[in-house]
Amino acid sequence: MAFVKRTPFKDLLFLQERITRIFDEALSMCEGLEEPSTCVWSPPTDIYETDDAVILKIELPGIDIDGVDVEIKDDVLSLRGERKLRTEFEDEHYHRMECSYGTFQRTFTLPAVIDKNGVKASYCDGVLEIVAPKAKEPVSRHIKVDVE
């Protein structure tokens, strides 16, 4: 039987590096915010395109949709809002909280030129759907140049 030299301090250093990385990742999400209890989070989003429009589906369960701001400027769509954490817990004793709370902000570069006047949004079952119709491309025309 061969003896294997064990280095327990190496295992502890590995564990310390892992814990430090976990804390750094968690704290980097909260940098620059006034309240340390609320962190920035990013709602999952699907973006797809049809012949006529660009569609975004954003998962926003538990959010007051009146507090969500959607803005389109040039070819960039900006989305801002907040999922608030209740502060009154009466008989509840949480064992785990995995849902994200706090402010969110996302920006998306749209893959086509959008008709800003035709954009429509709907909210159903916790999913915000934004339909941004593509702008009609200007019809090209030939111009005859007279040579003098």
Tens-of-pLDDT digits for all 148 residues of the chain? 667 677 777 777 778 878 887 777 666 655 544 444 445 688 999 999 999 999 999 999 988 899 899 998 878 899 999 988 877 767 777 788 788 888 899 999 988 788 888 999 999 999 999 999 998 875 556 677 777 6
CA Rg value for the chain = 25
Nearest residue to 47 via CA among 57, 33, 32: 57
What class has domain 37-88+98-133?
mainly beta
For the chain, give every domain's residue range. Answer: 37-88+98-133
Q: Say which residues have a Cβ less than 8 Å from residue 121's Cβ, sequence separation at least 6.
A: 70, 128, 129, 130, 131
- By the 10 Å C-beta count (0-12 exposed, 13-18 middle, 19+ buried), 58 is classed as buried
* Location of structure tokens 């769509």: 77
Structure tokens at 111: 């893959």
Rounded to the nearest 10 degrees, how much is the dihedral formed by the CA atoms of 92, 86, 98, 59? 140
Q: Say which residues have a Cβ less than 8 Å from residue 99's Cβ, sequence separation at least 6.
A: 62, 83
